[in-house]
Amino acid sequence: MRRILTIGLLSLALASCSKNPITGRNQLTLFSETEIQGMASQQYKQFLSQNKIVATNVSKDAEMVKRIGQRIATAVTNYYTQQGLSKELEGYQWEYNLIDSKEANAWCMPGGKIVVYTGLLPITQNEAALAVVMGHEIAHALAKHGNERMSQGMVQQLGGVALSVAMVNQPAQTQSLFMNAYGLGSQYGAILPFSRKNELEADKYGLFFSAMAGYNPQEAIPLWERMAKASGGNKPPEFASTHPAETTRIERLRELMPEALKYYRPVK
């Protein structure tokens, strides 16, 4: 029986693999983008209703988050259009919110639902560095990393059933999988870690997207040096808790910098 189940799950995984048009990598995606975006929209609204949003009309930081988000969204849209991939952004309705929280965290759900926590700002310190972080999180969403790790969790915990079936039969567990896959805070349990491939992809394309938006990608290096300092050699900030060591990331970013700078056009 166990062997039959294993073979069945393997067949499901193989049948559900798709090639990401940006990264070129095959990945396990059990759910359609429409399903994931629908769930993301619902959970995003719920999250905002339960947390304190910093209004743009009273905070320059909130204005900055919105400005960065809009510039990166425009850069992404232009890039996808140039590559003939506009269809990949169907359903995207970008939103950008700053949340009053001591957590050093940020995330982006499918459909362009972005949140930055105020606790991250003392580490980013400037607009270009925050753009690198937001670009990284947006790249996770565009590369469908959340779908990928939620799919992996669904196979391991629920046997790879359809999302609609899981929502009816095990709604709490399915919601928990979604929350953990998209990094919506420790209150939902241990956040599912991104793989090394996921992180390298998000670093690469996030750096490129922030550069396309007119932000100096070289700010990524001092940003991660500050991240390393903030961790104090112990537990890293919440934002960095499931990520590679800062020294590893900095080395990789240095390698990517010449290519990133080719996309960089400062906004006048």
DSSP codes joined into one string, 237-254:
PGGGTTS--HHHHHHHHH
Q: Which of 33, 137, 199, 238 is catalytic?
A: 137
**Does the pLDDT at position 125 exceed 90?**
yes
pLDDT at 13: 45
Which residues are within 8 A (CB) of 236 and not within 5 positions of it... i.e. 6 or more apart?
A: 227, 230, 243, 246
Instruction: Give pLDDT tens digits for 213-261.
Output: 999 999 999 998 998 888 765 555 545 545 566 778 889 999 999 999 9
Judge contact between 62 and 98, C-beta under 8 A.
yes
Which residues are within 8 A (CB) of 95 and not within 5 positions of it... i.e. 6 or more apart?
A: 44, 69, 112, 113, 114
| Domain locations along the chain | 26-263
The residue among 88 and 36 whose pLDDT is bigger is 88
Average pLDDT over residues 23-27: 85
201 in active site = no
> For residue 124, which amino acid is it?
T
> For residue 266, which amino acid is it?
P
pTM metric for this prediction: 0.82
